[in-house]
């Protein structure tokens, strides 16, 4: 169903002007638009955090510990993080 902003347009054969009246207002993506890809979260940078924050991150993200510990070794190399 087309929605005309002016019924005279239809009477003279002009293309309808879409007003959005026939869309679902709960749809977060308007018709014809593509949902954007979510931006990836930036990698955790241990040098930008305190020892306590780094250790908390490591406890919560054990799968990322090798990368974070390597970054710490090549950066600040803090004993409180590396335990060395």
Q: How much helix, strand and coil, in percent to the nearest 5, is found in the chain? A: 40, 0, 60
Q: How many residues comprise the chain?
A: 84
- Compare 42 and 1 and report the one with higher pLDDT: 42
Q: Looking only at Cα atoms, what is the longest distance across the chain?
A: 83
Residues 19-74: pLDDT tens digits?
665 666 676 666 667 777 888 889 999 999 999 999 999 999 999 999 999 999 99
Distance in angstroms (rounded) separating the CA atoms of residues 61 and 58: 5
Q: Where are the domains of the chain?
A: 1-36, 43-84
Residue range 12-16: average pLDDT? 77
Please say whether the beta carbons of 46 and 52 come within 8 A: no
Is-above-0.85 flag for pTM? no
């Amino acid at each position: 169903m087309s929605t005309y902003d002016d019924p005279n347009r239809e009477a003279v054969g002009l293309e309808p002007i879409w007003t959005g009246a026939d869309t679902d207002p709960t749809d977060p993506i308007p018709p014809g638009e593509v949902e954007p890809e979510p931006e990836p979260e930036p990698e955790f940078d241990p040098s930008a955090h305190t020892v306590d924050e780094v250790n908390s991150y490591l406890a919560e993200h054990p799968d990322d510990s090798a990368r974070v510990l390597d970054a710490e070794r090549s950066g600040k190399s803090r004993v409180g993080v590396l335990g060395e």
